[in-house]
A and B are shown apart, each in its own frame.
Chain A
Amino acid sequence: MTTAARRAAVVGWGVAGLLLLVVLWEGYKLLAPADGVLIGETRVLPRTTDLAMPHVWDMFGRLAEPVTRSPSAQPLWLVILLGALTTLGIAAAGWLVGVVVGIGLALVMQRWRVAEWGLLPWIVLSQTVPLIAFAPIVKSWGSRVEIGSFEWQDWMSVALIASYLAFFPIAIGALKGLQSPDRIHEELMQSYAAGYWATLMKLRFPAAVPYLLPALRLGAANAVIGAVVAEVSTGLQGGIGRLLIQFAGQASGDPAKAWGPIFGAIVLGLVAAGSVALLGVILKNYRRTEETA
């Protein structure tokens, strides 16, 4: 198969998957009873009313309509796009902090074995703290930070929480990558009398790329989730997290509207992960392996 044909096939299967989802949604809505499927008292499948499961075309049609009935209202898609961009910016800031912290921790752990033993359990433990629990704490701590003319902004709390989720896979992936060079490569560098920094730049970082790329992508997805959840729990205005809550509250009167921000959040995650995938294309030579042809 040619490259073009293969690419077309990938796109084709992707579209087919989406269509299947639509068919399943609408098929269930058409065939299942309005009250859903119950076993005893327990509902195992959802209601199929327009309130619980709006038609796919209603959900998308709603995007083109204005947010409110006010004559000056913007269309729903624009509001969601602006919200998504705000969240993307915050998540990107959080991701960058996560990259710096994650790679920094990995460097320290790679350099000193003792640091790995001491730090790694805490890094793992850090991810077991529920995000919802400490988001308000971070916000209240942040509000007390004031250094000179610098004043802590609420979005920074959200970015910080996003970075808290993002740094974990990056730290683990970077550590594995930095430790990945074969002994023969390390000894070669030693035989060249290359010091720590030269070995790091010429050997460890390039060798870490295949481990770093998926870690960075995972970190980007985590940063988006972290940003959305933190927006919800700190009540930050302007982002997609806030829209999710706000429109969900209006679902009884306007059920299709609540799905708008959900689609927005999905697209947001795809864009974030896709941007990192782009990084992989640029660094593709570092993903080669030394195998005999």
Chain B
Amino acid sequence: MSAPETTAAPGTITEPAIAVRVSSVDKVFETQGGRVHALEGIDLSVAAGEFVSLIGPSGCGKSTLMRLIADLDAPTSGSIAVFGKTPTRARLDQEYGIAFQQAGLLPWRTVAANVALPLELHGVGQAARRAKVDELLDMVGLAEFAERYPDQLSGGMQQRVAIARSLAEQPRLLLMDEPFGALDEMTREKMQADLVRIAGETGAAVVFVTHSIPEAVFLSDRVVVMSPRPGRIREIVPMRLAGAAAGPADGVGAVEGAATRAARTEGLREDRSFFEMVTAVREALHGAPVATGARGVETR
């Protein structure tokens, strides 16, 4: 294993603005019930610093797509590049941080030791480790819980620890698979606001899997709407929200992303443009204008 590259890597000179490029990716699972076409003809690029949500009903392959980018699974055909590298190389170089629906903290480690785990595995010295952990716990607002154990924290706090851990290696890409899915609505909205701030502070690109339309709208620069059986991208909806004249239209202009993020405050949830975008995503999900009662996708 080569040393993790946490600063700008030389291998990215060719395409400095692209965090993830997915080109005509297919994924087929061989199961006992036959072949399941989880993903078909997926093309997607995520610009550096851009926040992209994947949304769709169960079985649309949104988690599978994220797992392919994370190199936790391999595509059946097509190619994926993460900062111009193969996903495996990017994983070995610690180009991304990852968080799942469950916090996945190690119960025998304190909060601080959990956040320090990736650093420990990559041979970061103790002093540097402690400084980094303090900084990260500060960022997620859990500084005074450093010596607690996961079973002493609420679900929302555990998830914040998991997010701090995913940021430990200062990745330029965050992969998140429904990280707030198990949280109550109040905690969820608070965490969304925190995530917007943290993503802004770190400048990391985010690929965010969710099945909540308002969550996707609130967080994202672009929302990728997927449909199931086989998993396809139905539409990519750029978010045009109040305070941002125009969001990045088709991915490669994400430098404005940071500017639009500043506008994502709690007030946005009450804003007209927010509801318009929710409607736009809902219509994309159902393929036609819908009045009420979206099916298949939670609208919370």
Contacts and interface: CB of A to CB of B under 8 A. Distances in A.
A191 B96 contact: yes
Interface string A255-293: 000000000000000000000000000000111111111
Nearest to B169: A192
A293 B154 CA distance: 6
Given A185-B104, A193-B1, A203-B106, A288 B98 contact: no
Contacts of B121: 189, 192-194, 198, 202
A289 B71 CA distance: 28
B122 interface: yes
Given A203-B106, A209-B108, A288-B108, A191 B155 contact: no
A287 B106 CA distance: 11
Nearest to B122: A192
Contact of A292 (B94, B117, B118, B158): B158
Nearest to B148: A293
B263 interface: no
Contact of B108 (A192, A286, A293): A286
A187 interface: yes
B92 A193 contact: yes
Contacts of B71: 191
A230 to B, nearest CB: 37
B120 A290 contact: no
Contacts of B72: 187, 190-191
Interface string B72-108: 1000000000000000000110101010101111111
Interface in A138-192: 182, 184-185, 187-192
A206 interface: yes
Contacts of A194: 121
A193 B117 CA distance: 12
Contacts of A288: 107-108, 149-151
Given A192-B121, A195-B1, A290 B151 contact: yes
B91 A191 contact: yes
B151 A293 contact: yes
B104 A292 contact: no
B108 A185 contact: no
A76 to B, nearest CB: 47
Nearest to A286: B108
Would you call the interface of chain A mostly helix, strand, loop, or mixed?
A: helix
Nearest to B4: A193
A184 B155 contact: no
A292 B151 CA distance: 5
B70 interface: yes
Interface centre among A182, A191, A207, A209 (most CB of B within 10 A): A191
A191 B151 contact: no
Nearest to B108: A286
Contacts of A185: 104, 106
A72 to B, nearest CB: 56
B9 interface: no
Nearest to A188: B104
Contacts of B106: 185, 202-203, 206-207, 290
A191 B177 CA distance: 14
Given A192-B94, A192-B122, A289 B107 contact: yes
A207 B106 CA distance: 9
Nearest to A193: B92
Contacts of B105: 290
Contacts of A286: 108
B117 A182 contact: no
Contact of B107 (A189, A192, A195, A290): A290
Nearest to B105: A290
User: A-B pairs with the 3 shortest C-beta distances?
Assistant: A290-B107, A184-B104, A288-B107
Interface of A: 182, 184-185, 187-195, 198, 202-203, 206-207, 209, 285-293
Interface of B: 1, 4, 70-72, 91-92, 94, 96, 98, 100, 102-108, 117-118, 120-122, 149-155, 158
10 contacts: A188-B98, A188-B104, A189-B121, A191-B91, A191-B96, A192-B117, A285-B108, A286-B108, A287-B108, A290-B107
Given A182-B104, A185-B106, A192-B122, 10 more contacts: A191-B71, A192-B94, A192-B121, A193-B1, A193-B92, A193-B94, A209-B108, A290-B106, A292-B153, A292-B154
